[in-house]
């Protein structure tokens, strides 16, 4: 899935913005990874300071999808690191958006995927396997559902109920 220009998408989809079919996430994320622009259907995950389910999902074929992780906004540890970044790249994920922290920033910046996160933290997460897959998550001012579409570039992140036409 080719990324599209988020500013142009907003300009040409005013009706979708007004109706709530298209959301602009609050600009709280830092940009990581080689792909500054990425897009794809969303897979949602809700965890807190635990990344077992993150690995489980990233071990599946990404097929150009984007993993959106609600890590509760925790800044106390990272739920994605360099190994998971490489796994996401190798399994064909377009990107990962983390409402929380990542670590191994230099390794992630070397991966051919797009990553957005609140910040970085060198502390690793717990390994209890607690969390929920494919559930609605509330991140950066928007309720995000599994199967919606995410578009990210240097200007910001959009979430659409359906795939946007370029």
- Residue 106, marked binder: no
* Rounded CA separation 77/80 (Å): 9
| 104 assigned binding-site residue | yes
Q: How far apart are CA 93 and CA 131, in angstroms?
A: 20
75 is in an annotated binding site: no
The annotation status of 73 as a binding-site residue, yes or no, is no
- Judged on CB neighbours under 10 Å (0-12, 13-18, 19+), 123 is exposed
Please tell me the distance from the alpha carbon of residue 76 to that of residue 123, in angstroms, as a whole number. Answer: 7
> At which residue do the structure tokens 């890590």 appear?
71
Q: Which residues are annotated as a binding site for Mg(2+)?
A: 104
Q: Which residues are annotated as a binding site?
A: 81-84, 103-104
Q: Which residues are annotated as a binding site for substrate?
A: 81-84, 103
């Amino acid at each position: 899935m080719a990324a599209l220009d988020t500013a142009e998408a907003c300009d040409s989809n005013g009706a979708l913005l007004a109706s709530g079919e298209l959301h602009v996430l609050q600009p709280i994320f830092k940009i990581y990874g080689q792909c500054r622009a990425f897009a794809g259907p969303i897979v949602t995950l809700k965890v807190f300071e635990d990344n077992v389910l993150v690995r489980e999902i990233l071990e599946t074929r990404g097929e150009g999808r984007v993993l959106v992780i609600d890590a509760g906004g925790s800044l106390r540890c990272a739920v994605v690191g360099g190994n998971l970044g490489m796994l996401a790249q190798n399994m064909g994920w377009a990107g990962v958006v983390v409402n929380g922290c990542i670590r191994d920033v230099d390794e992630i910046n070397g991966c051919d995927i797009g990553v957005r996160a609140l910040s970085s933290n060198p502390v690793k997460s717990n390994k209890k396997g607690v969390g929920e897959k494919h559930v609605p998550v509330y991140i950066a001012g928007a309720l995000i559902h599994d199967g919606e579409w995410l578009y990210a570039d240097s200007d910001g992140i959009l979430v659409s109920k359906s795939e946007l036409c370029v």
